Amino acid sequence: MFGTFLYLTVCGGRNRLRVRLRRLREPRYLIGFVVGAAYMYFAFFARAFHSSSARRPGGVPTPLAALARFGAMVPFVASVMLFGFAVIAWLWPGSRRPIEFTRSEVQFLFPAPLTRRQLLHYKLLRSQLALVFGSAIATLVLRPATLASSWTVLVGLWIVLIAIRLYSMGVSLTRASLGQAGAGRLVRRWLPIAIVIGAVAALGVTAGRDWARLSALSGPGDVADDLRRMWSVGIAGAILWPFAVLARLPLAASPSEFLGALPGAIAILALSYAWVLQADASFEEASADRAEKVAASKIAPRTAAARVMPTPFSLAATGRAELAIMWKNLISVGRFVSVRTLIRLLVIVFAVVSASRSGSRNGGLASLLATLCAVLIGMIVLIGAQMVRNDLRQDLARLTILKTWPIRGATLMRGELAAPAAILTAVVWLLIVAELTLIPYFSGQPGSIFGVVLDRLSYGAAAIMLAPALILVQLVVTNGIAVMFPAWIAIGSSRARGIDAMGQRLLMMAGLLVSLVLALLPAALVAGIVGFSIYWTTQIIPVVLPAAVAAAVVIAECWVAIELLGRVLDRTDVNSVEATE
């Protein structure tokens, strides 16, 4: 049976490679591949080939060499991180997943005359290619100095990843087994969690004994060093031993050190393997359900979370189609973001702002909140459009339906962009108002109250006018890229893989930046001319009017761009979107 699984794995891998190579015949994938490969070369390989600088005095050390400077601290931190992973696997609710199989694996392998053990072997075998690839990438990033240390890092990382994989499977199977247990079910279900909590408590108690000394230490490095000393002996040492053994492998300073740690690591792997195989749990049903959910999430990523709620406004039977599409997209947001939660959040924010106003005159909390508001405004204006995908990018998955609607492409685009633009603008406006409220309470600037208020209002009004224009232009550019290159964008939750896909994403990002600069240049130019003219005649530096002019220019550009993109959308072939991987 091992041969069959190997055949399936090898054939699958080979054919995937073939498909990816074959699609390079298409220029869009070839260009993406060239860009992606160039990035990989310059990001990893070029540095690896020129790592001699690390050995020169004053040269920039490789990441592995930089880690080596910390001595025994690095394996210790790595072992604590592995322990943390082991704890989270039991305690974190989101980690309670069954063993994942694809839908085709469920359909072909589950009804086949295979034992559960054989299915587990298949999963282990199947995962090895990804684990080796991941280890290789990590090795390239770490850039070991010699060929021998490259091998020890590669093999060490691979063994660590296999151990993590086996442990995850063991946790999943043990959970399933305990869930199916009969008598004493409750006790048995909580027993592993109690053991994990006990282990954490043991480490905590060990550290707690010397808490006074630990809290008196000057820096985190000293604290970590002291913890390493305390947790390397006694019960704590025993608890962390398996993790320390694993962590030592990829970080071994020499081949002999690696070989010294190898027997212990292999023993841990063997024990984990035995644990996985002895867990007699029926995972098939949970895995089949999971496969269906994963497949469904690629088409409709948020179906399960949706719930019926009131619509944002009632839609009249006739009127502009844009409003109907906006209505639809607003409903989508409402179904996944609770309005009640937003109101609660708003109340909390205002309460905190009010408290800061009364409790702080020259900084403190008000300063912190104002900075937070400024950062949020910047983030939403600059990357909000990339994050909120509740627009055409989401609906391209349903292009078959959209194309049958009796509306122009430009109308469809305007409708699709309206909801995210409105939502992002509303959030930014709220933050701007909060920012304006907070500024005088920490600025402490001299001058009349009237002057300060006027200044605030001017800058606030300018920001309020510019924000929607900046948001809109980004939405137009990102959706425009989706319209122009539909096969290059991710639809729903699916993500294309491979070097060519990575290259495509890099190109898209570059295209976005160039388009933004091109779109904003005319607006900046016109606003500059207006501002300079006012200053020339009045000797007053204007803020509001140039901002209004800039916003108007950007919005006009967006309108023209949407009209042009709409024509492209009208000509877009559904197959060009469906052809994505």
| Residues 6 or more apart whose Cβ sits within 8 Å of residue 119 | 101, 109, 110, 284
Listed ranges 398-406, 528-536, 549-557, 558-566: which one lies at the site for other proteins (CB under 8 A) = 398-406
Q: Which is nearer to other proteins, 184 or 319 (CB)?
A: 319
The 10 Å CB-count burial string (b at 16+, else e) for 391-403 is: bbbbbbbebeebe
In the complex, least distance from residue 568 CB atom to other proteins, rounded to whole angstroms: 12
Residues 49-108 that bind other proteins (CB under 8 A): none
> By the 8 A CB rule, do 45 and 499 touch?
no
Per CB under 8 A, 24 contacts other proteins: no
Shortest separation between residue 335's beta carbon and other proteins, angstroms: 4
Q: Is 341 in the site for other proteins (CB under 8 A)?
A: no
Minimum CB separation from other proteins for residue 574, in Å?
A: 5
524 touches 516 (CB < 8 A): no
Cβ 297 to other proteins, closest distance in Å?
A: 11
Please report whether residue 455 would count as binding other proteins according to CB under 8 A: no
Which residues have CB under 8 Å from 501's CB, separation 6+? 32, 36, 495, 581
Structure tokens at 523: 């607006």
Does residue 487 touch other proteins according to CB under 8 A?
no
**Cα–Cα distance measured from residue 247 to residue 78, given in angstroms and rounded to the nearest whole number:** 6
Q: Which stretch binds other proteins (CB under 8 A): 225-233, 304-312, 342-350, 465-473?
A: 304-312
Decide whether 153 or 331 has the Cβ nearer to other proteins: 331
- Burial of 123 (C-beta count, 10 Å sphere; 0-12/13-18/19+): buried
Examine residue 316 and tell whether it contacts other proteins (CB under 8 A).
yes
Which DSSP category does 45 fall into? I
Q: Out of 186, 212, 401, 449, which residue is the one contacting other proteins (CB under 8 A)? A: 401
Residue from 37, 268, 41, 68 nearest 152 by CA: 68
Minimal distance in Å, beta carbon 343 to other proteins?
A: 21
Q: Is 565 in the site for other proteins (CB under 8 A)?
A: no
Question: Least distance (Å) from other proteins to the CB of residue 484?
Answer: 16
* Binder of other proteins out of 52, 318, 341, 537 (CB under 8 A): 318
Give the span between the Cα atoms of 493 and 498, in whole angstroms.
16
Using CB under 8 A as the binding criterion, the count of chain residues that bind other proteins stands at 37
Residue 23 is a binding residue for other proteins (CB under 8 A)? no
Give backbone dihedrals phi and psi of 233, rounded to 5 degrees, phi first.
Answer: -130, 165
Our finding on whether 315 is near other proteins (CB under 8 A) is: yes
State the angle between helix axes of 449-484 and 499-538 in degrees (0 to 180), rounded to the nearest 10: 140
Structure-block tokens of residue 75: 């394996």
Find the binder of other proteins among 398, 422, 430, 545 (CB under 8 A). Answer: 398
Residue with tokens 């980004």: 474
Q: Which of 147, 308, 449, 540 touches other proteins by CB under 8 A?
A: 308
Q: Which of 210, 403, 452, 552 is the binder for other proteins (CB under 8 A)?
A: 403
* Shorter beta-carbon distance to other proteins: residue 25 or 56: 25
- The stretch near other proteins (CB under 8 A) out of 111-119, 152-160, 319-327, 523-531 is 319-327
Q: Shortest gap between Cβ of 31 and other proteins (angstroms)?
A: 19
Q: Judge whether 333 and 405 are in contact, CB under 8 Å.
A: no
- Map the footprint of other proteins across residues 405-444, applying CB under 8 A: 405-408
- Nearest CA among 99, 97, 103 for reference residue 121: 99
Residue 440 φ then ψ, to 5°? -65, -15
Could you say whether residue 371 binds other proteins (CB under 8 A)? no
Q: Which of 400, 445, 495, 541 binds other proteins (CB under 8 A)?
A: 400
SS3 call for 422: helix
Coil/strand/helix, residue 496: coil
Q: What residues have CB less than 8 Å from 531, skipping those under 6 apart? A: 541, 542, 545, 546
Q: Does 493 bind other proteins (CB under 8 A)?
A: no
Looking at 9, 332, 367, 386, which residue binds other proteins (CB under 8 A)? 332
Could you tell me the smallest distance in angstroms from the CB atom of residue 26 to other proteins? 10
Q: Does residue 290 bind other proteins (CB under 8 A)?
A: no
Closest residue by Cα to residue 356 from 345, 338, 368: 368
395 versus 500: smaller Cβ distance to other proteins: 395
Token representation of residue 578: 């469906």
* C-alpha to C-alpha distances, 82 to 89, 164, 246, 320, nearest whole angstrom: 11, 8, 9, 57
Binding of residue 335 to other proteins (CB under 8 A): yes
Q: What are the residues binding other proteins (CB under 8 A)?
A: 300, 302-304, 306-308, 311, 315-319, 321, 323-324, 327-328, 331-332, 335-336, 398-401, 403-408, 570-571, 573-575
